[in-house]
Structure 1
């Protein structure tokens, strides 16, 4: 089938292809990493093995989907019976794409005839779209390559030598309970004996419930570079509670800052008044599934002892997710984590705007609408030692649907930039919506924090590969690694990704200016009032002035159908697959003023294809990323 797409608002003469978002279908990903395949026979342990993932439609009882392959050359005792496979080149749905997190392979591509070579340190993602995830199974075929075969380009299918098929494994829907998880399944040889096992991690992304995304506003991959970089207030005015002395520009005077607590309305508004372009905040769900703003996963409750003692109150540590939003507001709480150089006690003397645990809705409605919000979505992860940050009760699809719906319903025209440390959560956010751009947060190579199990979190380099493969806006890197490995900045930029950075190393004027000179697009740091040039306005305050200019520029553009060259876009009846451009030209980095993609002034002016998406994998934009 020849796909048709619309190309509009050509900026700088460049064209960019993007993936769309889920509408009715689901995305299923299988991830292979950390030596996922264990073969028990000695002759296989040092051999070159490849594997290929094929979809199996159980609702059709495996009929008509997989065509038999011609018999391969028998080179071993387990090769008498060959599994069937499909080249998936006939356009039937679903089909499997594969990406490897390394240079040259971090784009999803169709598999080669014999799949992907198994390498111990590779992180491989295979993914497929399906309308019926509850009936979609996967068959994983394994191939043994001749010992003299030194190099195989898995993306091109390799040289003419034929490998030996040695076995297969089935992953069925009942193996995949919940939105994500790990599973180990047996590998069956061609003589129907077990010859090993394969361990993988799966992810099922479902469409966002209760909200329909369109191409009217689609900013997920557009970023207008700004000459000075963005200043982002860490948790608002800074970490913990601000009661320090702010030195005025005039040496003879100084003033005490307002008594503001991190992640509160007061803290965010304080940062906005002192020139922050954006404020960074942390959101998670309470027990009653209300999005609340708080950084840590745990909190201390003051418990009174039965018998009167010198210290009548004993702290009891509980998870934020185990208390309702009302309990978080009513109970006598204190932070569970103490900071050696920061004061973070909660007190009843604080005004309402300075109380902890505001809801996300409160922040979106009470904080100055001219300041952007970098919303970090908290999600517990597994450490390298096998322990978890938190035992989480929520299904991840439900968890994200609640938070995203709250944002979509209450953010208005405020610029929202999402971020998360959990790579699977980033994947889910990317495919559930198209309105908000997303950064992959990473601590990278560090001596300050314990390592996570997922290799995608291990370095800024891996984060860049993953962000490119998934179609994220960019990476939010730990400054510690950027200082230790300055080439990371060039790598991220070479992938055409936006780069933010975070960390205590950012808390000096010299560090902030140096990072911006090196090309960092946004710096997150504490005490913006002390480190920022207070004489300038934040970028979102200036943007409404440019809205009319942007709309005038958009009027000079026209629609062009790539296939025909005509000035009209295809209608929804012509094809079920639409590709869309998403490139307005707002003043850095995205327009806070109301506008639609490509400067279309009203939804009625947009072509029908923009609002009738059936498959999310073809979105074409023109413009400089």
Structure 2
């Protein structure tokens, strides 16, 4: 149709095939136009299953503008009969560039996409699907972890090597706790879900199995080896105050599996958002036969102020394959226990690394007593307190002054932001290292950029925007020697909310990747926001540090399984482990994960080259970047090359027709040229758009208790 005959409105037919869609789930289309929700998942267009074609279909009447869109799977939960249902996103397409169509070009007789089927997760030769994030303020994700020697029985006849476990959620308003007179098998059979429940089905990730990724539970329960296995169960809920879990325990007797008993995790047995519950396992007559230990974690929605989170763009699984990125450790390096030209984790140190050609800078973030997110590594500092003395007039040198000062160890979390900026502080290694290296606090007239404890928001606003940030979220953990890094710390949800609010409000177009040694922190960051990727930091098998008690970080291979199982971007390995064996990197590649490396070994050109040229890791984090070998920021180099290509190209003759390439350019990020690492499973990719340039400075301070890592 031409001229005035062209209709102003067009019919777009959406049709997508998606395997393994669960009962109660639907396919949705989210996109750039109001009819598709303007990238708001809650306002997305719901498709209907066509039984004849097994495709999810739907039609819309739209205008002539180009439409960008993505598919996602989801379902609704309802907290009670009087409330509006809440949309829960199960999985969504996270290609850097979304799908698009141009009605004005693609229409035929006013209809677009007739008889065309899309494949969920496949687009432009790539496969990329991520788990959804927490969309609404009513939704929470609940994780139960059963691991190690979790099962204990009172009688030897119930002690087996293997058991079968099955976890089922229920709403206390629909199903009451099992009574002593109830038949255990009848309870299992009679349990039915309401028409629109307040909770989802429960997935399982068996971290030590060959495929550690989340999947449906086996109908008869999943095989659990007591003392060995590590199971994570996840459930979504919009009424956690009424949420309980029934845990069925089966044992093998004479070649057949019989139920040994049931355990119930009630709201009263799971106080707070994180903890461990020891639950009695009961027989059908109400008699206890044993106990099961269950760790629990409630992941709440992001409650601090932040921009609206849309489906327009996500870097959670996007990683452009290029030469190894080089990351400045704490800016220009560890300054309190090693030599560095500038104080670590200061604005000056971060900007100095940027000037030396760092692609990213890595730094640590934690909270002060008044809940300010600051850049600092150790959980403790030494505070200088003056002793009683008759006179200070005759003190002529630093040595004399140190004689009249006591050093008291305090947690950063117990000092307000202004106190950290005003007090005289030393590093925890004060007595073991040259005193000049351990001074955290600098001179009184030191410029702000050189001072320790810069705010996270300040770093985001003032550091060169062309350098990416690897933000390590500090959260204290229990060590294998029985010592906790920092007791009575802030609640996990609160810590993550404050840090994410700072990042989402101030990051702009900066490339950002999060990391943490606490695996639960990694999971929470990935669930509370839709934009940025997460790496699991791993100490692994080490002789240099006290290892953590958490089994998920005990070996590099377990760390890979955890990252793959929970949908993280990848793993940040400890160099000590990888210099013994490359197997963890090979397994990470098998799952399409990104591999970074940190560690004291990364101090020579030979070692750096081994990781860059032999293991082909995606990123290396090391001290004194740009001193061993001069370098330039790879993103600036790529930008200059691209500009040079455009300048060298002759100007094309203006076209009188619609240009497909112009739409593609508008829809494609300049770094979106990644290719899969292997055919199966699909490779994640990450790239963040480049920006202008910025400045950063360093501060000085001292810390007390050395923490376990980078």
Cα distance in 1 for partners of 2:663, 2:427 equals 53
1:116 paired to 2:208: no
- Would you say the 8 A contact 2:385–2:405 is kept in 1? yes
SS in 1 for 2:232: strand
Deviations 1:63-117 (A, max 9, x none): 9xx9xxxx9xxxxxx9787644659899964210011012433111111122122
Match of 1:165 in 2: 259
Match of 1:44 in 2: 158
- Where do 5+ consecutive residues of structure 2 fail to align? 1-23, 29-70, 72-92, 100-121, 392-399, 647-658, 675-684, 692-710
Match of 2:330 in 1: 235
- Would you say the 8 A contact 1:187–1:197 is kept in 2? yes
Q: What is the deviation of 1:463?
A: 0.7
Given candidates 509, 521, 524, the residue that maps to 1:425 is 521
- Would you say the 8 A contact 2:163–2:223 is kept in 1? yes
Match of 1:504 in 2: 600
SS in 1 for 2:169: strand
Cα distance in 2 for partners of 1:539, 1:393 equals 38
SS in 2 for 1:118: strand
1:4 paired to 2:27: yes
Match of 2:342 in 1: 260
Given candidates 131, 145, 160, the residue that maps to 1:19 is 131
1:464 paired to 2:464: no
Cα distance in 2 for partners of 1:466, 1:583 equals 31
Match of 1:528 in 2: 625
SS in 2 for 1:167: strand
Q: Relative to structure 1, is the Cα distance of residues 552 and 443 closer, same or farther in structure 2, using a 3 angstrom cutoff?
A: farther
Q: What is the deviation of 1:128?
A: 0.4
Alignment map for 1:57-96 (pairs within 5 Å): 57-62=171-176, 83-84=188-189, 93-96=199-202
Given candidates 190, 193, 196, the residue that maps to 2:287 is 193
Cα distance in 2 for partners of 1:471, 1:583 equals 25
Cα distance in 2 for partners of 1:292, 1:38 equals 44
Report the RMSD for the aligned CA atoms in angstroms: 3.2
- Would you say the 8 A contact 1:54–1:86 is kept in 2? no
Q: Relative to structure 1, is the Cα distance of residues 377 and 293 closer, same or farther in structure 2, using a 3 angstrom cutoff?
A: same
Q: What is the deviation of 1:362?
A: 1.2
Q: What is the deviation of 1:187?
A: 1.0
Match of 2:205 in 1: 99
Given candidates 422, 428, 431, the residue that maps to 1:330 is 422
1:400 paired to 2:496: yes
Cα distance in 2 for partners of 1:45, 1:243 equals 52
Deviations 1:187-216 (A, max 9, x none): 111111111111111011011123331112
Match of 2:687 in 1: 590
- Would you say the 8 A contact 1:100–1:122 is kept in 2? yes
Match of 1:74 in 2: none
Cα distance in 2 for partners of 1:415, 1:273 equals 17
- Would you say the 8 A contact 1:275–1:529 is kept in 2? yes
Match of 1:450 in 2: 546
Given candidates 353, 356, 362, the residue that maps to 1:280 is 362
1:516 paired to 2:608: no
Cα distance in 2 for partners of 1:549, 1:87 equals 64
Q: Relative to structure 1, is the Cα distance of residues 546 and 173 closer, same or farther in structure 2, using a 3 angstrom cutoff?
A: farther
Cα distance in 2 for partners of 1:540, 1:173 equals 53
Q: What is the deviation of 1:545?
A: 7.2
Q: Relative to structure 1, is the Cα distance of residues 401 and 484 closer, same or farther in structure 2, using a 3 angstrom cutoff?
A: same
TM-score between both structures, scaled by the size of structure 2: 0.70
Cα distance in 2 for partners of 1:415, 1:50 equals 44
Cα distance in 2 for partners of 1:30, 1:320 equals 31
Q: What is the deviation of 1:146?
A: 2.9
Given candidates 194, 203, 210, the residue that maps to 2:297 is 203
Match of 2:680 in 1: none
Q: What is the deviation of 1:541?
A: 6.0
SS in 2 for 1:38: strand
- Would you say the 8 A contact 1:56–1:138 is kept in 2? yes
**Larger relative CO (CA 8 A, sep 6+): 1 or 2?**
1
Cα distance in 1 for partners of 2:285, 2:538 equals 45
Deviations 1:511-565 (A, max 9, x none): 111101112000000011212333x343256448759999986834999xxxxxx
- Where do 5+ consecutive residues of structure 1 fail to align? 72-77, 149-160, 245-256, 560-580, 595-625
Tell which structure's C-alpha radius of gyration is larger: 2
Alignment map for 1:237-386 (pairs within 5 Å): 237-240=332-335, 259-307=341-389, 311-338=403-430, 340=433, 343-346=437-440, 347-348=442-443, 350-386=446-482
Deviations 1:96-146 (A, max 9, x none): 001101243311111112212221211100110011111100011111223
Matched positions, count: 534
